[in-house]
Amino acid sequence: YSSAPEYHRHSGPDKNLQVRPESQQVLSCTTWGSSLGSNTPCYIIDEKRTLKGYVELKEIILSDENVKIRDIMEEDIVCVKVDDDKEEVTQTFKKYDLSSIAVTNSDMKMLGIITADDIIDVIEEEATEDIEKMANVVPLDDDYFEVSTIKMFSKRIVWLVILLFASVFSTFILS
C-alpha cells in the first residue's frame, strides 16, 4: 500500500512493535472499530523513549484519518517508577481504575507496561502473605501442593505443639 505511513521499528525487547511519530496521521479503521469495548491505552514515546502521553486504542481507530496523534493524545498520564513497591503500584492501579500502567525510570523513559493480569497476581500473592501472617504461620516458599510433608510439618510445628498442650489441658479439666 503505497500511501501508508512510514513506521519506525521499536528498539526494545519487543521487536514486533511498530511506532509512528506523534505527528503521523491516524489511519481510518472505522468499519470494525466502533465495536471495540475496552479502553486500551497506546503509550506515546519519542525517539529517546521518553513517555509523552497515551491514546486510547478505540480513539485511534475511530478518529478521522487526517487527525494527528499529538492532537488526540492525553499528556496527563498516570505512570509508576521502576523502583516503586508492588503494593503502591497496586493501589495506583485501583485508584485510577486502569487496565494497564506505564513503567518509567526517573527520567520518564518508558521501560515497560504492567497489565491487569500482573496486578491480579500481585494481589493474590499479597493476600496469601497477609493471611499467613494473621494466622501466625511461617509462609511457604513454594506452592502448597509441591511442598513435602516434612517441610510442611516443620513450618507448622509450633502451632501443633501449642494445640496439643491446649487439647491435653482441656481434656484434663473436663475429666
pTM: 0.57
Please state, in angstroms and rounded to a whole number, the distance separating the CA atoms of residues 51 and 78.
Answer: 11
- In this prediction, residue 138 has a pLDDT band, given cuts at 50, 70 and 90, of low
pLDDT score recorded for residue 22: 52
| Count of beta carbons in the 10 Å neighbourhood of residue 60 | 19
Region 106-112: mean pLDDT is 93
Q: What percent of the chain has pLDDT over 70?
A: 74
pLDDT score recorded for residue 152: 77
Mean model confidence pLDDT for the chain: 76
Better-scored residue on pLDDT, 161 or 6: 161
Please state, in angstroms and rounded to a whole number, the distance separating the CA atoms of residues 151 and 155.
Answer: 6
Please state, in angstroms and rounded to a whole number, the distance separating the CA atoms of residues 48 and 50.
Answer: 5
pLDDT score recorded for residue 129: 80
> What tens digit of pLDDT does each residue of 4-48 get?
333 333 344 443 344 445 555 444 444 444 444 557 888 998 889
Q: How far is CA 46 from CA 3, 22, 61, 113, in A?
A: 23, 8, 21, 16
> What tens digit of pLDDT does each residue of 70-101 get?
889 899 989 999 999 988 999 998 999 888 99
- In this prediction, residue 110 has a pLDDT band, given cuts at 50, 70 and 90, of very high
Q: Would you say residue 52 has pLDDT above 80?
A: yes
pLDDT score recorded for residue 137: 65
